[in-house]
Amino acid sequence: MGDDPNMAGNSRRWIVREVEKQPAALADRLIDLYQIHRPEPDTDIDETLSALSDLVHAGKVRAIGSSTFPRSRSSSSVGGPSGAGYVRFRSEQPPYSLIVRGIENSVLPTCDRYGMGVLTWSPLAAGWLSGKYQKERATDMTTARARLVTAALDLSLPDNVRKLEVVDGLAGVAREAGLSLTPWPWPSCSPTRP
C-alpha cells in the first residue's frame, strides 16, 4: 500500500499490478485464492470481476472470493452482474460469532445456494467473547485499539448492552462447565500429560 491514490481499491490496475509483483517464490505457482476485501464504491464490480477473471484465465489465480460483501453483492458477483461470463466468487469471508449472527439469514443461504465456501473472521467478536469486556470490569481505554473503537466499547450503548448480555450468558455456560472466560492476555498453554 502507499500514498498514491492508485495504490488501493479494487481497480484492474491495482489488482493486476499486485499479482504481477508477487515474490519470485510464487513466480511459477498460482495464487490459490484471491479475495477482495469489501466492495469498493469507486470501482465498478464489472471492472473488478473482469480483472480477476483475466488472472484466473491466465493461470495466475486458481479461485476468487470476497470478504465482507453484502449478500446482494455476493450473489450478483457469483456469475457477474452483467452476465458477462466472469469467473465467479467461490468463497465469502464474513464476520461471524455468537454476537454477530446476521449472516445466518442472508449470507449463508446465498453461499449455500451458489456452492460458495465460507471462511469466517472475528469469532470472538473483537474480543467481546473472550471475557475482556464485562460489566464488573472496567475497560482499559488507554490501549490503542480501545481509543480507535471507543464507540464499540461504550457500555452505555444499547448494542453493547446486548453484547454484554450474550457475554453474561456465555460466562454462565462456562461456569457450569467448570471454566471461565479468560480476559486478555491469554495465559500460555502447555499440553497436559496423563
Residues 6+ apart with CB under 8 A from 17: none
Are residues 152 and 139 in contact, defined by beta-carbon separation less than 8 angstroms? no
Write the single-letter amino acid at 102.
Answer: G
Q: Sign of the C-alpha dihedral, residues 63, 68, 71, 76?
A: negative
Q: Beta-carbon neighbour count of residue 9 at 10 Å?
A: 16
Span 1-123 CATH architecture: Alpha-Beta Barrel (3.20)
Question: How does pLDDT run along the chain (194 residues), one tens digit per residue?
Answer: 567 766 678 889 889 988 887 766 665 678 999 999 888 888 888 899 999 999 999 999 999 999 988 755 555 555 444 456 789 999 999 999 998 888 999 889 989 988 999 999 999 888 888 877 766 655 555 565 555 555 666 667 788 788 888 888 888 998 898 888 875 554 444 444 44
pTM over 0.85: no
Q: Domain boundaries in the chain?
A: 1-123, 124-177
Give the distance from CA 188 to its chain's centroid.
26
Residue 128 vs residues 37, 134, 137, 138, 156: alpha-carbon distances, Å: 23, 8, 12, 13, 15
Are residues 152 and 126 in contact, defined by beta-carbon separation less than 8 angstroms? yes
Give the number of C-alpha atoms closer than 13 A to the C-alpha of residue 66, restricted to the C-beta side.
26
* pLDDT score of 192: 46
C-alpha–C-alpha distance, residues 48 and 120, integer Å:
22
Give the strands of the sheet with 31-37, arranged side by side: 31-37, 61-67, 89-93, 117-118
Are residues 171 and 183 in contact, defined by beta-carbon separation less than 8 angstroms? no
Burial 22-37 (b: 16+ CB within 10 A, else e): eeeeeeeebbeebbbe
C-alpha–C-alpha distance, residues 158 and 66, integer Å:
30
> Mind listing the pLDDT tens digit for each residue in 93-139?
999 999 888 899 988 998 998 899 999 999 988 888 887 776 665 55
